Every structure is written in C-alpha cells, then in structure tokens.
Amino acid sequence: MLSLADFTLTELETVVQTAVSFREVLSRRTPKVPALQGVVVTTMFFESSTRTRSSFELAAKRLSAEVLNFTPGTSSLSKGETILDTAKTYLAMGANLMVIRHQDSGVPQVIARAMDQLNSGVGVLNAGDGLHAHPSQALLDLFTLALVLNPDNPSTSLLQGKKIAIIGDILHSRVARSNLWSLSTCGAEVHLAAPPTLLPPGFAEAFANQSDRPGERSIVQHSSLAPALHQADFVMALRLQRERMAQHLLPSLREYQQHFGLTRDRLICCRPGVRILHPGPVNRGVEISSDLMDDSSLSLISDQVRNGVAVRMALLYLMGVGKTASE
Ligand code: NCD
C-alpha cells in the first residue's frame, strides 16, 4: 500500500467496511482478535512521528501480531548500514509486513520493489514519504467522514457531491495529496485554499492530470479562504510544515492566522453542521483557533486519532492475512 492514486472505489469501500468490523472489535471489553497471530510487523520510522507509529503498533497488537519497532537513532543506521540492508535484516528475522515512514518521497516504493525482487512475500505499507503520500491518514479521514455522515452504515457513497475544503500548507502536504486521490475517487468536490506560496497556481489541474480520468475529478483551488469555506460540509486544516519550508514562504504565522486560520466566525458561511478535521500535530491557535480545536461538537480531531487504529487494523489485516510462515 504505497499510494491511493491507484485505489479504486471498490478498494476504498473494502477498507471502510473492514474498518467497521474492527471498530466493533475495539469497542469490546477485550479489544483484541487473533487474526494476525504469528505475523511479524515492523514499524520503520526514519522520520519522527507520534500518532502514526503508535497507531500502527497498537493496531498490530490488537490483531495479535508480533511487533518490532525500529528507531533510526538507536539502530545500526547510525553505524552506516543502508536502509535496504536494514529492511533485509528484518526480512531475515521473518518480517511479513513493513510499515515505513521516510522524509524522502519514494523510499517505501524502493523497499517494496526490493522485497518483490527477493520474492519475499513481504507487504509494505507507506506511513508517509516526503511530500508524496500518506495513504493510511487519508483512509482514516475517509472513514471518519463516512461515520459522521452515517454512524450506523458508513460508506464511501455518502461522500458523493459533498464539498470538502482543505486549507493550508498544501505544497508540503502528503496528507493533502492522498486525500485528493481518495476524496475525488469517492465523488466529493475538493476545494483547496492557501496563500499562493503554499499552493502554486495550476496545482489542482496538474494534480488531476496525473490521473487516467482527470475530467471526473472535481478539484478547485482558491487563493483566499472564503470561497473554499462557502457551503462546505467539512473543512480540513493542515499544519504549516515549517521544518520543510526551505525559504520564507510566509511573512509570519500571525499573518497566516489572520487570513487562513479557522475560527468560529469564519465557519458561518459553511453548511450547518460543518465539522473540522486536522491530521495533527496542530500548531495550536495558528491553523485552528484554540477554542474551536477543543470543541467536540465541531472538531473531529480526536475521532480521527481513534478511528486511525481501526483503519490501520483493516490495512494490516487485508495485507497480512495468510502471511505466516506455516501457511
Ligand atoms: C502528518 C504527517 O506526518 O504527514 N501527520 C500525521 O501523520 N498525523 C501531517 C503533519 O506532519 O503535519
């Protein structure tokens, strides 16, 4: 699972429905099933992470898999071992699934290709690579949206025709890119808004043109907030990724907050019942006002984190079932 660019609507729906089952498991008194007993999952995070790594680890444990956590700072990487040799080391230990995050785009693909060439049967899950993709985040966002639209029967079809605004540092966001694939495949209307330095002119068109059916994807971009928020059903704010900003792309955080920060007042032009998402971590008070972030009648941030475990259980299950050495 490297990118959502090649996910069909049916595949997105399969993930949602599998996550529904695991959400039920997580609500039990003993939230654990033996589905991946004997399967070895390694989490290899070459870039820092709080929620994604913990979420994959918990998901693997709740499926009864064995989990090996790799942290570059304390590993042989600091002794000069290459990333591919690290992956081969885990393969030799019997790893079946590798969950990989890296600051450079393409690293999970390179490892997946190497694992295929070795005929290893290892499944690689991209947990965020550079600016390229963060599929599990977009899938948990999709699941969260579908659950809000119908808590008893969440489905990708509910997204058809919904207006979703994505606001902020789109240029540096793998979360935005993955969401663009999944939401537009579901037939949602995606509206992007950011200062031009964080959303270059022509971005939406260029993005849609990477697809084999660009005309069917509804992606619109704006250089101000109001048209994106107008009649929006959902608003997703993105973190300003200051660690990835090579030059000064913003005059100041304060100016960004004044023009693009989400506040209660600014949401008035959205549809009644609008809900707010953010992948986290949040620059509190910059992308979203502090009170809005903590208002659980509007903010879905905690739901996203909670639903992330069910979605990652679904992904590990769909990729890992039948992978134990004995089968
Ligand atoms: C995102 C990421 O790492 O891409 N965070 C996450 O996984 N929840 C977004 C970000 O870092 O801003």
Residue 1 lies in a domain: no
Residue 3 lies in a domain: no
List beta partners, residue 126.
100
Crossing angle of the two packed helices 301-320 and 51-62, in degrees rounded to 10:
50
Instruction: Report the b/e string of 179-211 with b at 16+ CB within 10 A.
Output: bbbbbbbbbbbbbbbbbeebbeeebbeebbeeb
Candidate of 134, 139, 244 to mutate for ligand 1, largest count of ligand atoms within 8 Å of Cβ:
134
For tokens 């919904």, what's the residue? 162
pLDDT of 315 over the 50 cut: yes
User: Within this chain, do residues 181 and 273 fall inside the same structural domain, yes or no?
Assistant: yes
Rounded Cα distance, 292 and 255, in Å: 19
pLDDT of 244 over the 90 cut: no
User: Within this chain, do residues 170 and 248 fall inside the same structural domain, yes or no?
Assistant: yes
Ligand 1 centroid from CA 90, angstroms? 25
User: Within this chain, do residues 61 and 191 fall inside the same structural domain, yes or no?
Assistant: no
Per-residue pLDDT band at 249 (split at 50, 70, 90): confident
pLDDT per position as a tens digit, 269-303: 999 999 999 999 999 999 999 999 999 999 999 99
Rounded Cα distance, 278 and 179, in Å: 12
User: Within this chain, do residues 67 and 147 fall inside the same structural domain, yes or no?
Assistant: no
Q: Cis (ω within 30 of 0) for the bond into 272?
A: no
User: Within this chain, do residues 72 and 168 fall inside the same structural domain, yes or no?
Assistant: no
The SS3 assignment for 108 reads helix
Average pLDDT over residues 316-321: 96
The per-residue pLDDT of the chain, averaged, comes to 94
Q: Which spans in 186-246 are helix H? A: 203-209, 225-229
Residue 326 lies in a domain: no
Per-residue pLDDT band at 207 (split at 50, 70, 90): very high
Least confident of 3-7, 72-76, 212-216: 72-76
pLDDT per position as a tens digit, 77-134: 767 788 999 999 999 999 999 999 999 999 999 999 999 999 999 999 999 999 999 9
- Kindly report the pTM of this predicted structure: 0.96
Ligand 1 atom closest to Cα of residue 52: 7
By CB atoms closer than 10 A (0-12, 13-18, 19+), residue 50 is exposed
User: Between the CA of residue 50 and those of 55, 86, 281, what are the distances in Å?
Assistant: 8, 22, 8
Overall number of domains in the chain:
2
Ligand 1 centroid from CA 5, angstroms? 19
Average pLDDT over residues 7-14: 98
Task: Please state, for a pLDDT cut of 70, what percent of the chain lies above it.
Answer: 98
Residue 316 lies in a domain: yes
pLDDT of residue 56: 98
Could you tell me if 262 and 288 are in contact, meaning their C-beta atoms sit under 8 angstroms apart?
yes
CATH number of the domain enclosing 150 = 3.40.50.1370
Ligand 1 centroid from CA 118, angstroms? 31
pLDDT of 236 over the 60 cut: yes
User: Within this chain, do residues 215 and 252 fall inside the same structural domain, yes or no?
Assistant: yes
Residue 71 lies in a domain: yes
Rounded Cα distance, 245 and 189, in Å: 28
Average pLDDT over residues 20-38: 98
Rounded Cα distance, 258 and 217, in Å: 31
Rounded Cα distance, 213 and 129, in Å: 25
User: Between the CA of residue 213 and those of 12, 210, 216, 218, what are the distances in Å?
Assistant: 17, 9, 6, 11
Ligand 1, atom 12, residue with closest C-alpha: 239
User: Between the CA of residue 189 and those of 108, 152, 164, 217, 221, what are the distances in Å?
Assistant: 29, 24, 6, 8, 11
Residue 13 lies in a domain: yes
User: Within this chain, do residues 39 and 150 fall inside the same structural domain, yes or no?
Assistant: no
User: Within this chain, do residues 230 and 283 fall inside the same structural domain, yes or no?
Assistant: yes
Residue 30 lies in a domain: yes
pLDDT per position as a tens digit, 35-75: 999 999 999 999 988 899 999 999 999 999 999 998 887 77
User: Within this chain, do residues 311 and 221 fall inside the same structural domain, yes or no?
Assistant: no
pLDDT of 312 over the 70 cut: yes
User: Within this chain, do residues 299 and 192 fall inside the same structural domain, yes or no?
Assistant: yes
Residue 325 lies in a domain: no
Ligand 1 atom closest to Cα of residue 101: 3
User: Within this chain, do residues 15 and 85 fall inside the same structural domain, yes or no?
Assistant: yes
Crossing angle of the two packed helices 135-149 and 51-62, in degrees rounded to 10:
70
The domain in which residue 124 lies consists of 9-133+306-320
User: Within this chain, do residues 91 and 145 fall inside the same structural domain, yes or no?
Assistant: no
pLDDT of 212 over the 90 cut: no
pLDDT of residue 327: 47
